[in-house]
Amino acid sequence: MELTRETLLSSIHRKYGAKMVHFAGWEMPLFYKTITYEHEAVRTKAGIFDLTHMGELRISGKNCELELAQLTTNDPTKLSLSRIQYSLLCHPKGGIIDDILVYRLKDEFLLVVNAANTVKDYEWIKSHLKGSAKVEDLTNSIALIAIQGPESEKIVRELEPIADCY
């Protein structure tokens, strides 16, 4: 029997009455009131989603951007600070390992990988880094949320006035 993991936000979800379900080895909130209510909220205002179960891997070290460029289909060296790109991890001779998000931080990158592939992606990246770059699995120490809906930008700007939203 697979052990169900809790995200860093699970206790908050339970505190506010979320209906919790098992998803990809994690205990995740499905909804708070009803599916219909939350669907309407996202379509007309905004909704927040716990993505903490997704894997977060940090790539750092000298020339980490060049090493990461050898592992992904998009070029992370072209990313400006605080920008993100959708990319793929691919086998050298073809075939997709996982689709990922690559965030450019000051001297490092944060990769968001699919929850079910976190360990596999971490091990693959670790085995394919050739220089001084290193990979760390931060999955258990980072909470990740997404906000969607027509009022999401307004809400984020109220929380973080300097947020660069599009």
Average pLDDT, the chain: 91
| CA distances from residue 115 to 38, 101, 122, 125 in whole angstroms, order as listed | 23, 13, 11, 15
Q: Dig out the tokens for 14 from the structure.
A: 């339970």
Domain 5-52+143-159, architecture per CATH: 2-Layer Sandwich (3.30)
**pLDDT band per the 50, 70, 90 thresholds, residue 3:** confident
d(CA 163, CA 95) in angstroms, rounded, equals 36
Q: Are 9 and 50 within 8 A, CB to CB? A: yes
Q: Which residue has the higher pLDDT, 131 or 161?
A: 131
One-letter amino acid at 7 equals T
pLDDT at 166 over 80: no
Q: Copy the structure tokens of residue 4.
A: 């169900």
| Pair of tokens at residue 141 | 């120490």
55-140: which CATH architecture?
Answer: 2-Layer Sandwich (3.30)
Entry pTM:
0.85
Q: What is the structure's pLDDT at 4?
A: 84
Cα–Cα distance for residue pair 40/38, rounded to 1 Å: 5
Domain boundaries, the chain: 5-52+143-159, 55-140
* Residue 163 pLDDT grade (very low, low, confident, very high; cuts 50, 70, 90): low
pLDDT tens for each residue of 16-41:
999 999 987 889 999 999 999 999 99
More reliable by pLDDT, 119 or 162: 119
> Mind listing the pLDDT tens digit for each residue in 84-93?
999 999 988 8
Looking at the predicted structure, is the pLDDT value of residue 65 above 60? yes
Return the higher-pLDDT residue of 24 and 50. Answer: 50
